Amino acid sequence: MLNYIWSGLVIISILCAALLGNTNELSTALLDSGASSIELLLKMAGIMCLWSGIMKIAEESGFTAVIAKFFSPLLRPLFPNLKKDSPAFRSITMNISANILGLGNAATPFGLKAMEQLHTLNNKNDTASNEMVIFVVMNTASLQLLPTTVATLRQSYGSIAPFEIIVPVWISSACALTAALTIACIFNQKKR
């Protein structure tokens, strides 16, 4: 599916550039995007290494087990086939709790680890398991309790009440998450 979306994006862009006469801009972007993605990766590299290291300490010292215990009643129903003390379930709880606290950067390494561990439990190598679908869908919805980035931006552009949007954000993200999980669960019921 991603194959088609990605090629669609590229083809549409090139067609549009040709029709609108933006070919110069397109060529520049083509050359620059390599550089900008390496820049992004370098930025990520530092964060990934740091948080993977911290996560390893959390794992070996039993900190993740404590967090998992705290959040598992909430997450258990979504992953009925995972054992409560499995490494995959622990990574998932760490990822979700980091997301809720707004530690997006810290959440990513946990999430990638969780996918790796879910993959070892998966009996089909190239197909997503039910757990993977639920987990990735949760990560595409916003779980963050305090939308700090948005509030900071609002404030810097002169908003009188930067946090005024917080209740709408909660309701809106709760609805989005519920909708996505409902769809995911309904499709999960169907045979793989």
Partner 1 sequence: MEFVMPVFAGIVVIFGLVKRVPVFDIFLKGAKEGMLLLYNIAPTIMGLVFAVDLLRSSGAINVICNFVEPAADFLGFPKEIVPMVLLRPVSGSGSTALLTSLYQDCGPDSFAGQVASVLAGSSETTFYAVAMYFGSIKVKKIRHTLVAALIADFTAAVMSIITVRFFT
- Among positions 49-108, residues that touch partner 1 (CB under 8 A) are 49-58, 60-63, 98, 101-103, 105-106, 108
Contact 117/86 with Cβ under 8 angstroms? yes
Least distance to partner 1, CB of residue 93, Å: 14
With vertex at residue 33, the alpha carbon angle to CA 151 and CA 29, rounded to the nearest 5 degrees, is 100
- Member of 36, 76, 81, 83 binding partner 1 (CB under 8 A): 36
Tell me which DSSP letter residue 163 carries: G
Query: Which of residues 74 and 183 has its CB atom nearest to partner 1 in the complex?
Result: 183
Tell me the per-residue interface mask from 129 to 168 with partner 1, x by CB under 8 A, - otherwise. Answer: ---xx-xxx-xxxx-x-xxxxx--xx--xxxxxx-xxxxx
Least distance to partner 1, CB of residue 70, Å: 13
Query: Which of residues 80 and 156 has its CB atom nearest to partner 1 in the complex?
Result: 156
Q: Output the CA torsion sign for 66, 175, 170, 47.
A: positive
Least distance to partner 1, CB of residue 175, Å: 5
- Member of 70, 74, 83, 176 binding partner 1 (CB under 8 A): 176
Query: Which of residues 46 and 74 has its CB atom nearest to partner 1 in the complex?
Result: 46
With vertex at residue 150, the alpha carbon angle to CA 78 and CA 43, rounded to the nearest 5 degrees, is 80
Least distance to partner 1, CB of residue 76, Å: 20
Query: Which of residues 72 and 102 has its CB atom nearest to partner 1 in the complex?
Result: 102
In angstroms, rounded to a whole number, what is the distance separating the alpha carbons of residues 170 and 26?
39
Counting contacts by CB under 8 A, is residue 189 touching partner 1? no
Contact 94/110 with Cβ under 8 angstroms? yes
Query: Which of residues 44 and 74 has its CB atom nearest to partner 1 in the complex?
Result: 44
In angstroms, rounded to a whole number, what is the distance separating the alpha carbons of residues 99 and 104?
5
User: Which of 92, 88, 90 minimizes the C-alpha distance to 69?
Assistant: 90
Q: What is the separation of C-alpha 107 from the centre of its chain, rounded to a whole number of angstroms?
A: 8
